[in-house]
Amino acid sequence: MRQHISEDAERRGDAPGGARPYTVDLVARAPAVLGDDVLACVQHGGAAADDDPRRIRVALPVLAGDGVELWRSVLPVRHGRDGDIGWAENGAALFGQLQLPESQLADMDRAVFHAYARIDGFLQRSGYPAWLRVWNFIAGITDGDGDGERYRQFSVGRHKALSLKPGFEHELPAATAIGSEDGGLLIYFIAAARPGRQIENPRQVSAFKYPRQYGPKSPSFSRANLLDWRDGAELFVSGTASIVGHETLHVGEPLAQLDELLRNVQALLEQAGRPLRPEMLKLYLRDPRQLDAVRAHLRTHFGARPVTILRGDVCRRELDLEIEALFRAA
Ligand code: 3EB
């Protein structure tokens, strides 16, 4: 299959620049069989129906909204596996996933280094060297103390792998890193032939420049990634929390955290400088008892626009929630 991808190299190089090569639909239930046009079916909560490599199962309970994302292609889709990486591509974008069981995470930093290095190698030889967006679901994300905390060790491994590329801090993908309920680590990602434009937030210290107090190596991600497709822009907004500068604000006040993180999202939209509207909003909430208050508060901000709310742990213990978003041209 890998060779098959390489033979089609002439079809690539049109991203970004070509038309947006997918659309995303939110649905309540995953189809029993994935159609030919599906690039990825991201299923939160429920079990995987089959072992189709396009099925990405995220072990976070759905608290509100539709928990299944169907990423549909406008171009023919091919899919397959390369070692432990499941992939699907359509000539303009590639989706992939890699899962590590808990038994392989005893040495988290090493395991993550090898996982990211494997993915990067696969992307390079497949003709999609540019990471656009990546999601990381890490069981027990805040387990362990000090620099031994799992999230910090995860960040060390990711940094070791991504920093092998010169200038890597100018082409970092947008990202999410959330604690999951299953054991193990799930990484899934979208890549293209060429990178988008990295967006940082003037209200926040860039994560890749966080000071030492947050761990031995800084988290390697951008605040957002802007893609100018021919038919309009798309903005992948990373997991965004109540952090200003590099500090956590409003500890113990989830609704104040929500207001703060929405100001961060607004700042990213201003940086993007394009008229954009939300296409998909996902909120990760630590304590389900806060669901009703959070939903009501979200309605005052987004009105009737659907927000999928998932039960998940944010990577700083004092943070109650985090939002991520996908925007597209208004
Ligand atoms: C923050 O801004 C909150 O390590 O990939 C958000 C999004 C966060 C992605 C990551 C971490 C990550 O630092 C945490």
CA of 236 relative to ligand 1 center, distance in Å: 14
Please say whether the beta carbons of 283 and 297 come within 8 A. no
pLDDT band at 16 (very low <50, low <70, confident <90, very high): low
Structure tokens at 187: 């990484």
- Nearest ligand 1 atom to the CA of 151 is 4
pLDDT tens digits, one per residue of 236-287: 999 999 999 999 999 999 999 999 999 999 999 999 999 999 999 999 999 9
User: How many Å apart are CA 323 and CA 330, to the nearest integer?
Assistant: 20
In a domain, 168, yes or no: yes
Q: Give the Cβ contact number of residue 276 at 10 Å.
A: 21
- Nearest ligand 1 atom to the CA of 238 is 7
- Nearest ligand 1 atom to the CA of 324 is 7
Residue nearest to atom 6 of ligand 1 (CA): 239
Domain, as residue range, for 190: 7-329
Burial class (CB in 10 A: 0-12, 13-18, 19+), 154: buried
Strands (E), 68-156: 68-73, 78-82, 85-89, 94-100, 130-139
User: How many Å apart are CA 43 and CA 24, to the nearest integer?
Assistant: 13
In a domain, 2, yes or no: no
**Overall domain count for the chain:** 1
CA of 176 relative to ligand 1 center, distance in Å: 6
Using CB distances shorter than 6 Å, the residues near ligand 1 are 136, 175-177, 207, 219, 221, 238-239, 241, 243, 315
CA of 223 relative to ligand 1 center, distance in Å: 8
pLDDT given at position 11: 41
pLDDT band at 232 (very low <50, low <70, confident <90, very high): very high
User: How many Å apart are CA 279 and CA 24, to the nearest integer?
Assistant: 8
Whose tokens are 């296409």? That residue is: 279
User: How many Å apart are CA 99 and CA 92, to the nearest integer?
Assistant: 24
* Nearest one of 192, 232, 205, 262 to 329, comparing CA atoms: 232
In a domain, 235, yes or no: yes
Sheet of 78-82, strand order? 78-82, 85-89, 94-100, 185-192, 130-139, 174-180
CA of 159 relative to ligand 1 center, distance in Å: 13
Structure tokens at 30: 């995953």
Catalytic residue among 89, 171, 322, 324: 322
pLDDT given at position 13: 40
Q: What share of the chain in percent tops pLDDT 70?
A: 95
136 vs 1: which has the higher pLDDT:
136
Threshold 0.75, pTM exceeds:
yes
User: How many Å apart are CA 240 and CA 129, to the nearest integer?
Assistant: 25
In a domain, 167, yes or no: yes
In a domain, 201, yes or no: yes
Q: Cα 76 to the chain's mean position, in Å?
A: 24
Phi then psi for residue 188, to 5 deg, are: -130, 155
pLDDT given at position 1: 39
CATH number at residue 33: 3.30.1330.40
In a domain, 207, yes or no: yes
Please say whether the beta carbons of 8 and 77 come within 8 A. no
What does the pLDDT average to over 21-32? 96
pLDDT tens digits, one per residue of 211-229: 999 999 999 999 999 999 9
pLDDT at 15 over 70: no
pLDDT tens digits, one per residue of 289-320: 999 999 999 999 999 999 999 999 999 999 99
Provide the Cα torsion 160, 163, 165, 170; round to 10°.
150
pLDDT at 14 over 50: no
In a domain, 57, yes or no: yes
pLDDT at 8 over 60: no
Pairing of strands 38-44, 78-82: unpaired
User: How many Å apart are CA 285 and CA 310, to the nearest integer?
Assistant: 6
In a domain, 191, yes or no: yes
Tell me whether residue 69 is one of the annotated catalytic residues.
no
User: How many Å apart are CA 94 and CA 128, to the nearest integer?
Assistant: 7
pLDDT given at position 162: 98
pLDDT given at position 5: 44
